[in-house]
Structures are given as C-alpha cells and as structure tokens.
A and B are shown apart, each in its own frame.
Chain A
Amino acid sequence: MAASKVKQDMPPPGGYGPVDYRRNLPRRGLSGYSMFAVGIGVMMFGYWRLCRWNRERRRMQIEDLEARIALLPLLQAEHDRQMLRMLRENLEEEATLMKDVPGWKVGENVFHTERWVSPLPEQLYNLRPREELIQKKFGFQWYV
C-alpha cells in the first residue's frame, strides 16, 4: 500500500470544528395575544380614519345639497314657465284643430274641481313627435 506520501483530501490538522446538530427552533416573534392586539389596533386606526373621512364627505354632501337648495327657486320658476308655455301652445293648437267640431269647448277642464292638476307628460307632449315623449319619460335611463 502506498505510504501517506500520496496527495489525498484529508481533514484539516486538528480535525474539524464542532458541528451544531441540535434543533434550532427559536422562540421569537409576538405572542398570540399581541398579534391580535396589533391586528385590532390596525383595524381601529383604519376605522378612525374612515370615520373622519366620512364626516368630511358628509360635510361635502351638505355643501352640494345647499347648492341645490339655493338654486331650486330659479329652476322651479323656469320649469313652471316651460310647462305653462307648452300648455298654452297645446291650447292654441287645439283651438285651430277643433274649430269645426260642434259642441267642443276649447280648453275644457276634464276634472270637476277648480284646483290646479299637474299635467302628465302625455298631455304636454301630445302634439310633438313621439321621440320627445320617450326622451322625457325614459331619458334618465340613458344618462351617462
């Protein structure tokens, strides 16, 4: 057999150092309770921020509603005038269309009462093209 003069892969002189073979399962990190606490704390913080933002949004909504309240008289007056204008035009059309019909009272009240009855869209848009009535009744469905 060859003597120890052959070059071989041998361990270092003095042997290898100690090998750590024990189980390494360190006890670290938060406990269960504190993990819950952190989670609940984060949630509480989130709720607090959400609450504050919702209050801010409520204030903004009040602002928008107040803008609407301020503008209502203008818009209502204009709407009234528009409605009365359409009724007047319909009345005049009716007078010209039915002038040869015997016993027809133009602009006759269809109710037995004196009070003002709001006209239906069919009544207002009767003598106009059908698309206008459809737009008036269902136009809101196509509003983008």
Chain B
Amino acid sequence: MPDVVEIPTLEELNVKEVNVSSAVLKAAAHHFGSQCDKPSKEFMLCRWEEKDPRKCLEEGRKVNDCAFNFFRQIKGNCAESFTEYWTCLDYSNMAELRRCRKQQHEFDNCVLDKLGWKRPELGELSKVTKVQTARPLPENPYHSRPRPEPNTPIEAELQPAKHGSRLFFWNW
C-alpha cells in the first residue's frame, strides 16, 4: 500500500561537516560532551524515539552547528595547547588518554582560564538525563497494525480431542 520511500534531496542533506580527524575528536570529546550537551541529547532522543533518520535531520544540523562553534572557539582561544594535545594523542598507540596527561592538564587549564569550561568529572557524561523538547512523542513509531482484541469468542462447538491429548508425552 505505501508507494514510495521518501528520501530527502541532496540539498537538504547538505550540511557543513566538521572536517576533523579522530584524534582531534577524541581529544576534545569530554569538553564537547559538556558544552554541546543539549543539541546532542535532543538529537539522540529524536533518533531513538522516531526510529527514522529522515525525521531528525534538523536536530542533526543543530548538533553540527554546535560542534562548529565549539571548534571555532577552541581554535580562537587555545589553539596551541590543543594542537599539542591532539598530536600527542595521535602519536600514542590506540590514542590512549593516559599517555598525554601533561598536555591534557595544560589544555584544560587554558580552556578554564579563557573560556571558563570545566572538564566533566569521571562518570558525569554517562549519567542518564531527562531531555526537554518541543517535539511531541510520536505515537506508534513502529507503525504496527492494531492488535486483535483479546479473547475472541469461539463460535464452533468444542469437542474433546480425537486420539487423546497430543501433549501426552510432552507434559512437563
């Protein structure tokens, strides 16, 4: 019955992408988690409630905008210490954060001085949060058919089973 799968056009999907490598992202991850918290949580809530990526493109765009501003602020203020930090991370095997504690403290102090951002404590980003949205809760996101009503009345006359119970040997 449904005819065509609607896919958004290429212009709608055209979003300013954050063109940055994995070490940079991992270096900035904790601060990104505390700064860009609101749009991120809204996007994830939208994605997981609607179960449809086409409905969450707007929120995704907001996440990207927030990320852009975030990196722009870092670049404007703490560029050198951030570069040191992520190059150190990139150099280490598996981008282990423990190999770069010195640069991490430098970067954190710089960001705290200039921008007032505090690095979230261990365990703060994994806390479960409640998200406030203007978007209404979607009803029936799985598009399931209406359930049949329970205990439909049986019309025919019930007879005892022919050849005895079929559950004779499987009666546990």
Kindly state whether residue A98 has any CB partner on chain B within 8 Å.
Answer: no
Given A67-B29, A69-B125, verify A115-B51 contact (CB < 8 Å). yes
**Would you call B51 and A71 a contact (CB within 8 A)?**
no
Establish whether residues B2 and A113, one from each chain, have CB atoms under 8 Å apart when the complex forms. yes
Question: What residues of chain B lie closer than 8 Å to A68, measured between beta carbons?
Answer: 29
A98 to B124, CA, bound (A): 53
Determine whether the beta carbon of A76 is less than 8 Å from that of B25. Answer: no
Complex contact A78–B29 (CB within 8 A): no
Query: Taking the complex as formed, is B79 at the interface, i.e. its CB lies under 8 A from any CB of chain A?
Result: no
Contact call B63/A115, Cβ cutoff below 8 A: no
Interface residues of chain A: helix, strand, loop or mixed (majority)? helix
Mark out the residues of chain A between 104 and 131 whose CB falls within 8 Å of any chain B CB in the assembled complex: 105-109, 112-116
> A105 to B33, Cβ gap below 8 A?
no
Asked whether A105 lies within 8 Å of B30 as measured between CB atoms, the reply is: no
Residues in A with CB closer than 8 Å to B4 are: 105-109
Q: Could you tell me if B63 and A63 are in contact, using CB atoms closer than 8 angstroms?
A: no
Tell me the complex Cα distance, A76–B42, Å.
13
**Which of A73, A74, A85, A107 gathers the greatest number of chain B CB atoms within 10 Å?**
A73
Give the CA-CA distance A89 to B122 in the complex, in Å: 43
Q: Quote the shortest CB–CB distance from A69 to chain B (angstroms).
A: 5
Nearest CB of A to B15, in Å = 6
Task: Look across to chain B and name the residue whose beta carbon is closest to the beta carbon of A75.
Answer: B25
What are the residues of chain A within 8 A of B63 when measuring CB–CB?
73-74, 77
User: Which of B5-13, B151-159, B162-170 is near enough to bind chain A?
Assistant: B5-13
Q: Smallest Cβ distance from B69 to chain A, in angstroms?
A: 13
- CA–CA, A79 to B23, complex, Å? 18
Across the interface, do A73 and B15 meet the contact criterion of CB distance under 8 Å? no
Q: Which residues of chain A from 57 to 107 have a CB within 8 Å of any chain B CB? A: 59-60, 62-74, 76-78, 80-81, 83-85, 87-89, 91, 105-107
Shortest 5 CB-CB distances between A and B: which pairs?
A70-B33, A77-B60, A67-B29, A73-B40, A80-B53
11 extra A-B contacts, CB within 8 A, seeds A60-B98, A74-B32, A74-B64:
A66-B29, A66-B123, A70-B34, A73-B44, A77-B43, A84-B57, A88-B9, A108-B4, A115-B51, A116-B51, A116-B53
